[in-house]
């Protein structure tokens, strides 16, 4: 069971990283199904983190904080 939780956290962390990289792609269609799916999967976690963490200009540190928190949670289970 612990391995499954660890794998789910790893996959979710990877999805967050993919979403971050997507923001670097100019002219990316926000209505593309893959983009929409990634937003639907990550927004429930990233949006509350964005409300708690102040942004610094155009830099959004919420994905880094969320991935760090996921790593801590993963460490507790393994």
- Quick: pLDDT tens for 33-51: 999 999 999 999 999 999 9
Question: Residue 55: what pLDDT?
Answer: 78
**Other C-beta atoms lying within 10 Å of the C-beta of residue 20:** 16
Single pTM value for the model:
0.88
In the predicted structure, residue 1 carries a pLDDT above the cut 90: no
Phi-psi region of 11 (alpha: psi -120 to 50; beta: other; left: phi over 0): alpha
Question: Residue 67: what pLDDT?
Answer: 97
- Quick: pLDDT tens for 54-70: 878 888 899 999 999 99
**Other C-beta atoms lying within 10 Å of the C-beta of residue 58:** 6
């Amino acid at each position: 069971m612990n391995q499954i939780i660890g794998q789910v956290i790893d996959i979710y962390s990877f999805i967050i990283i993919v979403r971050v990289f997507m923001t670097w792609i100019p002219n990316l269609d926000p209505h593309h199904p893959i983009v929409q799916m990634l937003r639907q999967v990550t927004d429930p976690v990233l949006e509350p983190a964005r409300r708690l963490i102040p942004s610094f200009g155009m830099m959004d540190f919420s994905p880094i904080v969320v991935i760090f928190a996921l790593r801590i949670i993963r460490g507790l289970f393994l």
